[in-house]
């Protein structure tokens, strides 16, 4: 039991009057990589946002446990310090806050939470340099304001860079592959692979099976209209790519 | 003298009695002062009927008595000169305490002169009279009062082709056991192709109320360059009425920046006259106001000739019941073709009780101009807040970082790195509620020991 990182049971979410998630069940164990696929607007990002603690969602039913604790009761910052990370589908631009200041503050908040002293300037610099290499990030990017004026691909790379800096136990990567060119996709995927350990878990949300050639998932889920309707292994992603979502519908109608 | 004004403040009465009883002799020697006072009697203190004071109530400031600083008041200087150092910067310093300069005049090897204006009038009468009062503008009763009661202030002269080696710092500090009414007058003259950086600080060293009514005239000759950094950090009872006039000749370049961290009432009238072609003025400001603090900025840029550029950029953060007025004026004369003038003022409201009035005025008589203005009032970006929190940053810290980021655009105008860093530090302290007046306000306050004995003063 104690290797279960994320356990979602019968999760129903409403935004206003509209039910967006309609009874999600999902279990992710340490060392696993899951992929979630599914058509636009089915609630993938909503699920990710609920896990990260975004406000504005009404949990009408179900539960989300993270390492056995009720995740929904924690503030977003506490979730992060406990090891939850969301790679945003649309990373936010924060003019005036440099990546360096931003990450230093974040890391020190994490350290404080775990009873550690603030990181020294020297150690922080060394850490930055090490992790920058992981995603082959150019150094001048790190001196800029968070995501400000970044290209789509640079933003996504920056998300993985932050993941590398924070070393989460559970990373949800929401369409991290979109907007990346072929080389960047490989670099970012390799970066993610290097961050995979036996202790942590990764959930990638993607539309393209191509990413899964690089980040090979243990489990693939298909989400459809607020629910996980199919779960399988990597071949499920292949089938999706080949047949499209019409195929999913057929399968659902049959069953 | 017949009293016509209904709205007759306690202080206005006191001023009249004072003038008649104690100032008559002095004003006989200086008849222009008597004329100025007559004018004050006619116009009185500005009321809210006046467009430029529409949103600013002076009643609580003026229904009070003050010690009016007079010529025989040099004893007000007996308090120690106030020094403040920014680590990593050496400066030439003019320290003005309670309205009087602590030093006479200093002349450097390169003929740069700085020190007391009063002394400059004695030693360099021609130089002073060539500029004194030539750029000042009569705005309201406060202008007349400054003309009536000014006694001293800072004088700076940078000769042609001289670039002042160090920044010059004017420290204007208030520290007396009574409530003071101060009328400081500064004159700064930059010669052709000269260059200087001026740090201008207003600081109160205790918690007494003061009313400061200062006028600064800054003349910039052809091709001169000035970086002007003003810092206002005074106690919440004190009111400052601060008029500064920049007069720019051809191809001169001004970078004027003002950061206001604390103050009961801060009224700044910043006037720039671009009177020589190809001159450029960048006027910026950041302010953080809370409790019942109020800041009222009137920025007036006058394009009198063609081919000049100007930019106004102000950012304010308001919490609690704080209030602000931003009144940005661009005047483009008929002949001022090819003018490019911009203005932007943006605010963040932290509380819904805070008040903001912004009024852009564009008065354009030329046809070939590029003018733009923009104003916004908003809250912190919730998406950005969530993004930061999702990385483990505490909500309050995220707010501080975002607020700081919002004003940092204005701090980027400060070209001296240690000063910029010191400001950044103060602003962060201010945002987390840890900056008091003189709470290490730029400062590594050298009279800290003395200050600790002052009653009621909280040191950080
Ligand atoms: N704040 C909101 N207010 C109203 N509706 C919302 C809100 N956020 C999401 N929705 C709706 O919820 C549904 C699910 O959106 P979500 O972003 O989770 O989809 P998705 O599966 O991530 O889609 P995509 O593949 O396009 O990223 C959509 O119909 C969307 O319009
Ligand atoms: Mg999505």
Instruction: Give the DSSP letter string of B164-199.
Output: -SS-EEEEEEE--SS-EEE--EEEEEE-TT-EEEEE
Count, in order, helices (H) and strands (E) of chain B: 11, 22
Given this model, what pLDDT does residue A2 score? 67
**Which residue, A25, A20, A21, is CA-closest to A65?**
A25
- B368 in Cβ contact with B335 (< 8 Å): no
Among partner residues B386, B394, B409, which is closest to A109 by beta-carbon distance? B394
Residue A162: its chain B contacts at CB < 8 A? 391
Given this model, what pLDDT does residue B79 score? 62
How far is Cα A219 from Cα A204, in angstroms, rounded to an integer?
10
The answer to whether B406 contacts A96, with C-beta atoms less than 8 Å apart, is yes
How far is Cα B220 from Cα B154, in angstroms, rounded to an integer?
16
Beta bridge pairs of residue B280: B253, B309
Given this model, what pLDDT does residue A85 score? 98
- CA A51 to chain CA centroid, Å, is 9
What ipTM does the predicted assembly reach? 0.96
- Identify the helix (H) or strand (E) that includes residue A37: strand A33-37
**Which residue, B356, B347, B298, is CA-closest to B327?**
B298
Given this model, what pLDDT does residue B435 score? 59
3-state secondary structure of B450: helix
Give me the helices (H) in chain A, please. Answer: 44-52, 76-82, 99-113, 121-134, 139-142, 152-166, 182-195, 209-214, 234-254
Given this model, what pLDDT does residue B1 score? 46
Beta bridge pairs of residue B274: B248, B303
- B206 in Cβ contact with B447 (< 8 Å): no
Strands B100-101 and B92-97: antiparallel
How far is Cα A31 from Cα A170, in angstroms, rounded to an integer?
10
By C-alpha distance, the chain A residue nearest B401 is A97
- A135 in Cβ contact with A184 (< 8 Å): no
Judge whether residue B446 has pLDDT over 70: no
Judge whether residue B137 has pLDDT over 90: yes
pLDDT tens digits along A18-44: 999 999 999 999 999 999 999 999 999
Given this model, what pLDDT does residue A246 score? 86
The answer to whether A166 contacts B391, with C-beta atoms less than 8 Å apart, is yes
Contacts of A208 (CB under 8 A, 6+ apart): A177, A241
The answer to whether B393 contacts A109, with C-beta atoms less than 8 Å apart, is yes
Instruction: Read off the pLDDT of each residue in A227-233 and give the average, rounded to a whole number.
Output: 94
Given this model, what pLDDT does residue A139 score? 67
Given this model, what pLDDT does residue A48 score? 97
Structure token pair of residue B108? 């450097």
- A8 in Cβ contact with A43 (< 8 Å): no
What letter does residue B306 receive in the DSSP assignment?
A: S
A-contacting residues in B 400-419 (Cβ below 8 Å): 401-402, 404-406, 408-409
Predicted confidence band at A137 (pLDDT cuts at 50, 70, 90)? confident
How far is Cα B32 from Cα B428, in angstroms, rounded to an integer?
47
- A99 in Cβ contact with A142 (< 8 Å): yes
Mutate to test the interface with B, among A49, A75, A78, A95 (most CBs of B within 10 A): A95
Average pLDDT, chain B: 88
How long is chain B?
460
Mutate to test the interface with B, among A96, A110, A171 (most CBs of B within 10 A): A96
pLDDT tens digits along B173-226: 888 888 999 999 999 999 999 999 999 988 777 788 899 999 999 999 999 999
Among partner residues A53, A105, A162, which is closest to B401 by beta-carbon distance? A105
Residue A106: its chain B contacts at CB < 8 A? 388, 391-393
Instruction: Read off the pLDDT of each residue in A144-153 and give the average, rounded to a whole number.
Output: 92
- Whether A46 lines ligand 1, by a CB cut-off of 6 Å, is yes
Query: Phi and psi of B101, rounded to 5°?
Result: -70, 135
| CA A214–ligand 1 middle distance (angstroms) | 27
Average pLDDT, chain A: 93
| CA A177–ligand 2 middle distance (angstroms) | 12
Percentage of chain B beyond pLDDT 90 is: 67
CA distance B408 to chain A (A): 6
- B282 in Cβ contact with B309 (< 8 Å): no
Among partner residues A76, A145, A146, which is closest to B390 by beta-carbon distance? A76
Mutate to test the interface with A, among B286, B385, B390, B411 (most CBs of A within 10 A): B390
Among partner residues B384, B393, B409, which is closest to A77 by beta-carbon distance? B393
Given this model, what pLDDT does residue B29 score? 85
Residue A75: its chain B contacts at CB < 8 A? 389, 395
B424 touches chain A (CB under 8 A): no
Given this model, what pLDDT does residue B396 score? 87
Atom of ligand 1 at shortest range from CA of A175 = 27
How far is Cα A30 from Cα B427, in angstroms, rounded to an integer?
44
Q: How many CB atoms lie within 10 A of CB B410?
A: 21
Q: Where are the domains positioned within chain B?
A: 9-276, 381-460
* Ligand nearest the Cα atom of residue A46: 1
Judge whether residue B449 has pLDDT over 80: no
pLDDT tens digits along A69-104: 999 999 999 999 999 999 999 999 999 888 988 999
The answer to whether A54 contacts B388, with C-beta atoms less than 8 Å apart, is no
Judge whether residue B342 has pLDDT over 50: yes
Residue A100: its chain B contacts at CB < 8 A? none
Q: What angle do CA A36, A41, A42 make, to 5 degrees?
A: 50
DSSP character string of A163-176: HHHH--SEEEEEST
**Which residue, A71, A121, A115, A83, is CA-closest to A197?**
A83
CATH top-level class for A4-252?
Answer: alpha beta
CA distance from start to end of chain A: 31
């Amino acid at each position: 039991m104690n290797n279960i990182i994320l356990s979602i049971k019968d999760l129903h979410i409403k935004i206003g009057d509209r039910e967006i998630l309609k009874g999600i069940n999902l279990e992710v164990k340490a060392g696993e990589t899951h992929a979630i696929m599914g058509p636009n607007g089915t609630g993938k990002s909503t699920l990710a946002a609920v896990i990260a603690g975004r406000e504005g969602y009404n949990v009408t039913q179900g539960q989300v446990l993270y390492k056995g604790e009720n995740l929904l009761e924690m503030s977003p910052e506490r979730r992060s310090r406990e090891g939850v990370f969301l790679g945003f589908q649309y990373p936010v631009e924060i003019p005036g806050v440099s990546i360096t200041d931003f990450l230093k503050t974040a890391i020190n908040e994490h350290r404080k939470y775990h009873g550690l002293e603030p990181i020294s300037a020297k150690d922080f610099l060394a850490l930055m340099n090490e992790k920058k290499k992981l995603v082959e990030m150019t150094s001048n990017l790190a001196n800029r304001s968070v995501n400000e004026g970044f290209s789509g691909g640079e933003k996504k790379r920056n998300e993985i860079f932050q993941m590398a800096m924070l070393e989460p136990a559970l990373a949800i990567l929401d369409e991290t592959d979109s907007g990346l060119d072929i080389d960047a996709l490989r670099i970012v995927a390799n970066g993610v692979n290097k961050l995979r350990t036996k202790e942590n878990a990764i959930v990638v949300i993607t539309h393209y099976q191509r990413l899964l050639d690089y980040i090979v998932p243990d489990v693939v889920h298909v989400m459809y209209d607020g629910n996980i309707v199919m779960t399988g292994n990597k071949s499920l992603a292949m089938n999706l790519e080949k047949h499209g979502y019409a195929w999913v519908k057929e399968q659902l109608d049959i069953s | 003298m017949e009293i016509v004004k209904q709205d007759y403040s306690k202080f206005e009465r006191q001023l009249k009695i004072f003038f008649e009883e104690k100032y008559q002799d002095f004003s006989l020697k200086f008849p222009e002062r008597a004329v100025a006072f007559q004018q004050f009697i006619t116009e009185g203190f500005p009321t809210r009927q006046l467009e430029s004071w529409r949103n600013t109530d002076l009643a609580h400031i003026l229904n009070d008595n003050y010690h009016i600083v007079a010529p025989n008041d040099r004893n007000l200087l007996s308090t120690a000169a106030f020094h403040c150092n920014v680590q990593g910067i050496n400066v030439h310093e003019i320290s003005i305490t309670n309205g009087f300069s602590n030093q006479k005049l200093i002349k450097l090897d390169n003929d740069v002169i700085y020190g007391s204006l009063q002394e400059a009038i004695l030693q360099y009468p021609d130089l002073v009279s060539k500029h004194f009062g030539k750029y000042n503008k009569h705005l309201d009763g406060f202008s007349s009062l400054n003309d009536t009661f000014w006694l001293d202030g800072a004088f700076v002269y940078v000769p042609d082709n001289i670039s002042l080696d160090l920044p010059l710092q004017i420290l204007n500090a208030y520290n007396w056991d009574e409530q003071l009414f101060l009328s400081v007058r500064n004159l700064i003259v930059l010669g052709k192709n000269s260059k200087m950086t001026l740090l201008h600080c207003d600081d109160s060293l205790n918690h007494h109320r003061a009313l400061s009514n200062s006028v600064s005239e800054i003349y910039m000759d052809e091709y001169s360059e000035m970086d002007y950094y003003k810092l206002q950090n005074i106690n919440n009872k004190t009111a400052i009425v601060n008029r500064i006039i920049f007069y720019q000749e051809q191809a001169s370049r001004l970078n004027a920046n003002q950061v206001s961290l604390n103050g009961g009432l801060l009224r700044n009238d910043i006037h720039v006259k671009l009177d020589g072609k190809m001159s450029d003025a960048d006027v910026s400001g950041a302010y953080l106001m809370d409790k019942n603090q109020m800041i009222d900025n009137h920025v007036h840029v006058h394009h009198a000739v063609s081919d000049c550029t100007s930019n106004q950029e102000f950012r304010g953060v308001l919490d609690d019941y704080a209030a602000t007025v931003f009144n940005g004026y661009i005047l483009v004369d008929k002949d001022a073709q090819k003018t490019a003038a911009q203005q932007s003022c943006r605010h963040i409201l932290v509380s819904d009780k805070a008040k903001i009035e912004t009024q852009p005025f564009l008065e354009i008589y030329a046809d070939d101009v590029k003018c733009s203005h923009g104003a916004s009032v908003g809250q912190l970006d919730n998406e950005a807040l969530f993004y930061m929190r999702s990385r483990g940053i505490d909500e309050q810290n995220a707010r501080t970082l975002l607020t700081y980021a919002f004003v940092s655009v204005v701090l980027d105008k400060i070209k001296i790195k240690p000063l910029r860093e010191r400001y950044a530090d103060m602003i962060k302290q201010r945002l987390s509620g840890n900056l008091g007046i003189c709470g290490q306000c730029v400062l590594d306050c050298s009279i800290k020991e003395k200050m600790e004995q002052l009653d009621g003063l909280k040191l950080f």
